[in-house]
Structure 1
Amino acid sequence: MREMGRPFVEFAYNHVEPADGEESSRHAQYEHESYTRVRRATPQNAWTVFGPIRVRRFGYRPSQAGEPMLFPAAVRLGLVSGASPARACRACELLAEAGATQHRVRARRRADYGVGWGVKKLRQVSRAIADDRATFRHDAQVEQLLAWVAAADASTGRHKPVLCAGRDGITLRLRVTKGSLYEVASTGTISVYDRRGRRLGTAYLAYTPEPGQPTMTGALTDAIRDVLTQWEGGLPRLCYVTDAGDNETGYYEAVLRGMIHPRTGQVVAWVRVIDYYHASGRVWLLAGVLFADAGRAARWAHTMLRWLLTPGGVNRVLHSAAAVRAIRTLTRTQTKEYRTAYDYLRSRMSHMDYARYRRVGVPLGSGVTEAACKTVFTQRLKLSGMRWGKDGAQAILNLRVILLSGVWDVVYQRVLAAWTLPVMGGHADSHQKTLEIAA
């Protein structure tokens, strides 16, 4: 099938421009730069889904020294570093999949299309496509979230639809001048739940390590605000479910707690939930400190976890722990562990009303966000021996979150539709057309 398709594609590609250069426009305008056609056509190798082909195209020399040659036919065909749009898309999709490595992707390319790329070519194509797609990711994710909110609003059940946000951090091995360095990258999620508490879908965000994580904060906030701006139905219940990390808590205090609805001007009420399973871990820590016998510790912990899900449950757990502590003699280390776990629960009581959360259909755990750390980062960027530069890692993350969010095809169609084409013709005519397009 490849052998049958390749000559047809090669024929079509080589007839985008006239065979005689004199029949082509002598001048061209592209991205505010003027170009002049050279006398002879220059051949180029191109890679398509049918395999490699030879493309003849005329080059245009820039009027400004130092600028690269322009090949209008290649631009009009959408070639990215010599790759056709379909082949570039497939290569990037393979790179975005779980468990992908450069070696594995190159092997798949050879098996599927009969020819392999080098590492340099693969990286050139992936970075170019990742940059283009990142531009359209936000709008596509917002539209997808709005579709899920509409489906949740139309569902049946006893709860309000829920729009749930979350964020978390994960260490990523970075390549530095001398060896490796581990820093904390960030992942964010926005999920929609219907009236029966079923998750309809999740939009993912992910960024490489940076101090304070401002890029994640901005992207997550923009997505939430745009959903609120464009949704004209009844306001879904808004919740923010995370652990009690510094960045996670700081985002709630600085952004969500006082967020103003973009259309109504009213303060938006967010339900802040400390992940139930992180709280459960503190209960087990208390049990291990307070009871020397493992059986008694387990029985006490299980009882406390049931209490934690009842009205006033955190208070009951703290009172029980304090009562047992009063009759126990602890070592200095045990006292420190007890105090750390006890203070964790006591200082966050207002965000641990799990009985109410269950009653109104709000998720108790940040499992979606915790799983995002695994699906976005661990399954792709933390395979054996992997080290990353920030630019390379972000290129893969841009592709991966688009794939996981279910907007891959939508984003790529918008990339192709927004492709900037050269304006062919004389200098004066081309300049006028450029002005008309700009206007």
Structure 2
Amino acid sequence: MTKVVRISGDEVTVEVTVRLSGSLLDMEGAIQEATNAVGRCATEEALQRFDTDGSAIRVGAIKLTARGRDPKEYQTPYGPVEVERYVYQSSRGGRIYCPLEHQARIVRGATPRFASQLSHKYAQLNVRAVQTDLEQNHGRTIATSYIQNVAEWVGTIATAKEEDWEYAMPALETPIATVVVSLDGAMIPMADSAGWREAMVGTLSLYDDEGERQHTIYLAAAPEYGKQEFRQRMEREIQRVKRHLPEALYLGIADGAASNWRFLEQHTDRQLIDFFHATEYVGKIAQATHPQRHAEGPRAQWQSAHCTTLKHDPAALDLLIGEAARLSQRHTLSQTLRDDVLSAWTYFTNHRHQMDYPGFVAAGLPIGSGVTEAACKTLVKQRLCASGMRWKNKGAKIVLSLRALTQTTGRWAQFWPKIDQFGAECYG
């Protein structure tokens, strides 16, 4: 049994009775039920504090009058709570307006904290896993359609306000010397016979003068919205970081895609081919150097040794280019191997001005886009590419928006106070 026994100003005293019998597991279940009951009781009182007294109000230039008090059930972290609240309409009719829902920042019938919990879980888990987690760990039975509805609304707010809402960077222990800007793509399975299409991923990684990464900003975009819109979002983030860190060195690190370099050259001071991407081409030369079927050991040793020299020896790149040119003319090699080493020759020749690994290493600068490669997996693949998944553009956009917010340290915690400040426009 749970009841409010005293209300004094902003304080509410709730009385609860908990029956402790059976095993400890049984008792813990009873305690959880009682805790949820207290939460429902207090939340009912809290919701009523956002209602009006029924007087006429204005929303912008429009005068609205109360139609009466209607009961409405709201979903909370502790369970459903039903309250009677005033609803309003203009003299001309039209859309119904509920001041309580607007002032309390209700999101599709969910209180802000519950909407935050649902959308955060949905960013990490598929909808049935979220449903199971809520039931098993929170004592909440929620329909999958409702979970998706709330999460999609929250994700829509995040994407709609992305240009307007600026997030503060966390307090960092050491000064930032270098900002690495990197972008890449990850293929995701699409519904409606669209097959697999590329989602875009971008990162801005902040490094101190010892080369230690202190903070990373993550961005992602669904295929529908195209690379141009994604790059506009990246550009906004870069401009914001530059306002905070105007003295930092800005590096662009990516693979060899020409469109990436056109963007990075506009926004970074220096550019570098991702070292680990370059090592894949060293591997092609190693394969041609030791083409025998059972030469895995010598091949791996050759690749490892030449990757090390590529990283530290300024002359190593020209040696690799020369070796690739020589091997591409060796007629004892298969056409496939000759084509592979020719592709390595072309790659190293075209990008030699972006492969100063010894200079970067000597200066203590990053030489890899491993953060972005990892983001392709953690931000996109882990959530969107599970067995049997197929995505429509809207759903992929929502999930990627939520995951970028939750993976960028500090942003999720700032996102909800912004909703609290600016609102989540709700009519009911």
Partner of residue 64, structure 2: 35
- Tell me if structure 1 keeps the 8 A contact 2:406–2:412: yes
Partner of 1:415: 419
5+ residue gaps, structure 2: 1-34
Which residue number corresponds to residue 72 of structure 1?
A: 99
TM-aligned CA distance change 1:329 to 1:12, over 3 Å: closer
State the one-letter code of the partner of 1:50: Y
Instruction: Give, in angstroms, the shift of residue 80 of structure 1.
Output: 1.2
1:118, distance to aligned residue in structure 2 (A): 1.6
Aligned to 1:57: 85
Go from structure 1 to structure 2 and tell me whether the alpha carbon gap of 1:137 and 1:287 turns closer, same or farther (over 3 Å shift).
same
- The Cα shift of 1:2 comes to 1.1
1:62-81 per-residue CA deviation (whole Å, 9 max, x = no partner) reads 4455x431111222222111
Local SS of the residue matching 2:205: strand
Q: 1:212 to 1:5 in 2, by over 3 A?
A: closer
CA–CA distance in structure 1, aligned partners of residues 203 and 64 of structure 2: 46
Deviations 1:171-203 (A, max 9, x none): 111111xx4521111000000011111000110
Task: Judge conservation of contact 1:287–1:297 (CA < 8 Å) in 2.
Answer: yes
SS in 2 for 1:341: helix
Report how far residue 289 of structure 1 moved. Answer: 2.2
Partners of 2:240 and 2:51 lie apart in 1 by: 43
* Residue in structure 1 matched with residue 308 of structure 2 by the alignment: 306
Moved more, 131-140 or 284-293: 131-140
1:239 aligned to which of 251, 257, 264: 251
Tell me the residue number matched to 1:271.
270
Long gaps (5+) in structure 1: 154-160, 260-268, 423-439
Q: Secondary structure at the match of 1:68?
A: strand
Q: Which residue of 2 aligns with 1:429?
A: none
Equivalence map 1:112-131=2 (5 Å): 112-131=137-156
What is the RMSD computed on CA atoms of the aligned residues?
2.4
Distance 1:125 1:77, change over 3 A: same
Opposite residue 198 of structure 2, the aligned amino acid is V
The 3 A distance-change label for structure 1 pair 142 and 243 is farther
Partner letter of residue 36 of structure 1? Answer: T
* Higher-RCO chain (CA-CA 8 Å, sequence separation at least 6): 1
The answer as to whether partners of 1:140 and 1:410 remain within 8 angstroms in 2 is no
User: Structure 1 length normalisation: TM-score?
Assistant: 0.81
Change (3 A) 1:320 1:290: same
Q: Does 1:193 align with 2:218?
A: no
Pairwise CA distance, 1:137: 4.9
**Aligned letter for 1:173?**
P
Shift of 1:230: 3.8
* Structure 1 segment 79-228 matched on structure 2, within 5 A: 79-97=106-124, 100-135=125-160, 137=162, 143-144=168-169, 147-148=171-172, 151-153=174-176, 161-176=177-192, 179-210=193-224, 212-228=226-242
Q: Please name the residue that 2:338 is paired with.
A: 335
Measure how far apart 1:416 and its partner are: 0.8
Measured in 2, the distance between the counterparts of 1:7 and 1:308 equals 67
Q: How many residues align?
A: 387
Contact 1:96 1:399 in 2 (8 A): yes
Q: Residues 113 and 335 (structure 1 numbering): CA distance in 2 closer, same or farther, change over 3 Å? A: closer
Instruction: Give the % identical residues.
Output: 25
Pair 1:283–1:303, CA change in 2 (3 A): same
1:14: which partner in 2?
Answer: 48
Deviation of 1:9 after TM superposition, in Å, equals 2.0
Bigger mean CA offset, 330-339 vs 366-375: 330-339
CA 211–8 in structure 1, closer or farther in 2 if over 3 Å, else same: closer
